Amino acid sequence: MTISSFIPPQRTLMGPGPSDVSPRVLEALARPTIGHLDPEFIRMMEEMKTLLHYAFQTENALTLPVSAPGSAGMETCFVNLVEPGDKVVVCINGVFGGRMKQNVERCGATAVVVEDDWGNPVDIQKVEDALKQHPDTKIVAFVHAETSTGAQSDAEALVKLAHQHDCLAIVDAVTSLAGTPLKVDEWGIDAIYSGTQKCLSAPPGLSPVSFSERAAETIRNRKTAVQSWFLDLNLVMGYWGPAAKRAYHHTAPINNLYGLHEALVMLQEEGLENAWARHAYHHAALRAGIEAMGMGFVVDEAHRLPQLNAVTLPPGADDAEVRGRLLKDFSLEIGAGLGSLAGKVWRIGLMGHACNQRNVEFCLGALDTVLSEQKCDINAGVAVDAAQQFYANQPAAVKTA
């Protein structure tokens, strides 16, 4: 059998990730590959750290992209900070809090679980109660923006509470970075990880992380070796540390780093606050159309992520069939529900480059067509008009790309 080159279809990606990648980022990926210790590549790495400082709003020296997806960023935080016998309060209000618990247990530590219903934010009072019951806790871990539900928790308050009990705070910001306000230094976050494929709109495969000096000191003073050689920051920083002393650790994913660099340059050009405002703005237009159709959201408005919308299925809708039709007929991808929300919600992403008026109207129009053809119980023919009316009624100063 002769296999020819793979040519992927052109999709509009409006699921939970990956998101659409800008042509500028795709062009950056195609630039000439150079060595991972080339002086020009090392210069780019220094720029990358500066750009990540801006995205995370931090001056942490230990800030870098891990050469693997967001799940490896999560593991980097846990394997470096958690040792056998430690106690960690883990907040679970969706799939990804559950993965935190697995990381804690694989490190030989004890996970004290604080659980909330899917679709709700982390309950701060429950966390405080757990910390009072377990005064020997070392770390509090929680998801800022839960991708499985579209719920956002109060990271600032949770970190403050952790510090009041002399704990470090590990924060999952895979879906929040560059999409909603996130201020690592101002909020005092000790360890944070994200991914490139959400609101940064770069291809998957890298995980930006940042560690406070307190966290870095904890890593340096471990009693046991970090259980992962590849993710041991004591070793990785030999490569990502000061440019004059750069030492080989692994062969970096050079072209993927070009792409992330370009995505971060684009974020800097737009302005972080403008990016936050853009996500909120287009979410409001999407919400107008969804509600006009008669559908709703799982998460209360006060805790709802603008970039990840968990929308309830209308009566008569077949989850898989609708998503299949959208992909086949419109080349549009939206996400299915996970866990307890499987078959009950669609997860519609408005992330990064995909967060724009064209996509909002395209998604609403496609949903309206498919649901109407399936005789689902919706208000047909009104969704796009509702979104367009929202856009028309907004002051020009509010409108963003």
Range of the domain at 323: 272-398
Residue 249 token pair? 């650790």
Mean pLDDT of 131-157: 98
- Cite the beta strand spans of 263-387 per DSSP E: 308-312, 332-333, 335-336, 345-349
**Is it the case that residue 172 has pLDDT exceeding 70?**
yes
pLDDT at 397: 56
Distances (CA, A) of 212 to 71, 188, 232, 362: 20, 8, 16, 42
> In this structure, are 219 and 326 located in the same domain?
no
Q: Does residue 229 lie in a domain region?
A: yes
Q: Are residues 172 and 237 in the same domain?
A: yes
pLDDT computed for residue 399 by the predictor: 58
- Structural domain total, the chain: 2
pLDDT, tens digit, 9 for 90 and up, residues 272-292: 999 999 999 999 999 999 999
* pTM, rounded to two decimals: 0.96
**Percent of the chain at pLDDT above 90?**
95
Cα–Cα distance, 245 to 233 (Å, whole number): 16
> Residue 259: what residue type?
G
Neighbours of 104 (CB within 10 A): 24
Mean pLDDT (whole number) for 229-257: 90
Summarize the confidence of residues 258-269 as an average pLDDT. Answer: 98
- Specify if 302 maps to a domain: yes
Q: Specify whether 78 is located in the same domain as 163.
A: yes
- pLDDT category at 246 given cuts 50, 70, 90 is confident
Q: What 3-state class would DSSP assign to 135?
A: coil
Whether 14 maps to a domain, the answer reads no
What residue type is assigned to position 93 of the chain? N
Q: Are 93 and 153 a contacting pair, CB within 8 Å? A: yes
Of 297, 390, 288, give the one whose Cα is nearest residue 337: 297
Residue with more model confidence, 115 or 397: 115
- pLDDT of 340 over the 70 cut: yes
Q: Confidence class of residue 398 from pLDDT cuts 50, 70 and 90?
A: low
Average pLDDT estimate for 13-39? 97
Residue 81 CA neighbour count, 13 Å, CB half: 31
User: Which of 238, 269, 300 marks a domain boundary?
Assistant: 269
CA-to-CA distance for 301 and 156, rounded, in angstroms? Answer: 19
Is there a domain that residue 117 lies in? yes
Region of 331 (left: φ > 0; alpha: ψ -120 to 50; beta: rest) is: left
Final residue belonging to a domain, choices 269, 296, 311: 269
What is the residue type of 48? M
What torsion, rounded to 10 degrees, do the Cα atoms 196, 202, 204, 209 define?
-20
Size of the chain in residues:
401
**Position 329 confidence tier, pLDDT thresholds 50, 70, 90:** very high
Residue 3 lies in a domain: no
User: Taking residues 211-234, what's their average pLDDT?
Assistant: 97
- What is the reported pLDDT for 112? 98
Indicate the DSSP class of residue 145.
Answer: E
Contact 16, 307 (CB under 8 A): no
Within this chain, do residues 213 and 241 fall inside the same structural domain, yes or no? yes
d(C-alpha 111, C-alpha 140), whole Å: 10
Does 166 share its domain with 190? yes
User: Are 171 and 38 within one domain?
Assistant: yes
Residues 174 and 85 in one domain: yes
pLDDT score for 238? 87
pLDDT at 36 over 70: yes
Instruction: Tell me the CATH number at 79.
Output: 3.40.640.10
